[in-house]
């Protein structure tokens, strides 16, 4: 059995919190794990936001026996969470599952460059709050017979597809970062950056990243497939 040795209890707790949030949106969530050396990247896709969420964690050593190998597997998020031991800071890697389509299309590892126009973290959080309030107000204004799933989805797409500031980043990416605990109060402006690489945009914070991929440089608001 492959065992991940996380750097400390805090890394284990943060990873557990991330997995719990993913499972809140999808009880059958899968995550793709990539580990090399003492770095672990956990990729997930909360369906409510149509983005790719990335949580990095530090490892004390790659595997239980300290073997110099790499790990790349798609597993059940729920089973990984169940195997996580906060005090021991370890997690047993579950058996691989048939990966969902998104797991085969990950952001590039390099080539990222800064993108201008991203508002300050506090403004990002206020924008999310105002947008959530707008969605609730608009749906509450609908007559009961008009409050259909199709209409709610249409309203949601309109709001969450809006671009942030002068960037091409869709609002849903910021909403996802906030909901997944990546955009925390007190985070400095220098710690929250927008990066691009090819057709990808990535909102990076000290607690995790959210990435979206488009068909072209002018269409980065579409969801990851």
How far is residue 131's CA from residue 110's CA, in Å, rounded to a whole number? 33
Please give the average per-residue pLDDT across 83-89, as a whole number: 94
Backbone angles phi, psi at 54, to 5 degrees: -130, 125
Alpha carbon dihedral 81, 83, 87, 90, in 10-degree steps, equals: -100
**pTM as predicted:** 0.88
Q: What is the pLDDT of residue 216?
A: 38
Q: Is the pLDDT of residue 64 over 80?
A: no
Q: Is the pLDDT of residue 224 over 70?
A: no
What rounded mean pLDDT belongs to the chain? 90
- At residue 63 the predicted structure's pLDDT band, cuts being 50, 70 and 90, is low
Share of the chain above pLDDT 70, in %: 92
How far is residue 31's CA from residue 163's CA, in Å, rounded to a whole number? 27
Per residue in 118-132, pLDDT tens? 999 999 999 999 999
Ramachandran area for residue 177 (φ above 0: left; ψ -120 to 50: alpha; else beta):
alpha
Q: What is the pLDDT of residue 37?
A: 84
Q: Answer yes or no: are the C-beta atoms of 35 and 29 closer than 8 Å.
A: no
Q: What is the pLDDT of residue 21?
A: 96
Q: What is the pLDDT of residue 70?
A: 80
Per residue in 132-190, pLDDT tens? 999 999 999 999 999 999 999 999 999 999 999 999 999 999 999 999 999 999 888 89
Per residue in 13-62, pLDDT tens? 999 999 999 999 999 999 999 998 889 999 999 998 989 999 999 999 87
Q: What is the pLDDT of residue 220?
A: 37
Closest CA to 78 of 23, 36, 32, 41: 23
How far is residue 156's CA from residue 159's CA, in Å, rounded to a whole number? 5
For residue 123, what is the enclosing H or E element? helix 121-140
Q: What is the pLDDT of residue 52?
A: 97
41-54 b/e (C-beta count within 10 Å ≥ 16 → b): bbbbbbeebbbbbb
What is the torsional sign of CA 105, 35, 51, 27?
positive
Domains detected in the chain: 3-104 (3.10.150), 114-194 (no CATH)
How far is residue 97's CA from residue 32's CA, in Å, rounded to a whole number? 10
């Amino acid at each position: 059995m492959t065992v991940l040795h996380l750097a400390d209890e805090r890394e284990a707790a943060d990873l557990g919190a991330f997995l719990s949030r993913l499972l809140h949106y999808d009880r059958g969530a899968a995550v793709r794990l990539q580990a090399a050396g003492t770095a672990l990247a956990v990729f997930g896709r909360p369906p409510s936001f149509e983005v790719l969420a990335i949580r990095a964690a530090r490892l004390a050593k790659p595997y239980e026996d300290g073997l110099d190998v790499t790990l790349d597997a798609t597993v059940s998020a729920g089973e990984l969470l169940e195997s996580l031991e906060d005090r021991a800071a370890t997690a047993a890697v579950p058996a691989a599952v048939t990966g969902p389509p998104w797991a085969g299309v990950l952001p590039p590892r390099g080539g990222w460059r800064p993108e201008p126009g991203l508002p300050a973290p506090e403004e990002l959080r206020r924008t999310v709050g105002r947008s959530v309030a707008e969605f609730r107000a608009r749906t509450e204004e609908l007559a009961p017979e008009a409050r259909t799933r199709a209409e709610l989805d249409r309203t949601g797409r309109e709001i969450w597809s809006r671009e942030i500031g002068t960037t091409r980043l869709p609002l849903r990416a910021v909403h996802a970062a906030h909901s997944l605990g990546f955009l925390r109060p007190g985070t400095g402006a220098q710690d929250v950056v927008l990066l691009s690489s090819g057709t990808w945009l990535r909102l990076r914070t000290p607690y995790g990243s959210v990435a979206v991929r488009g068909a072209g440089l002018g269409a980065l608001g579409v969801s990851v497939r």
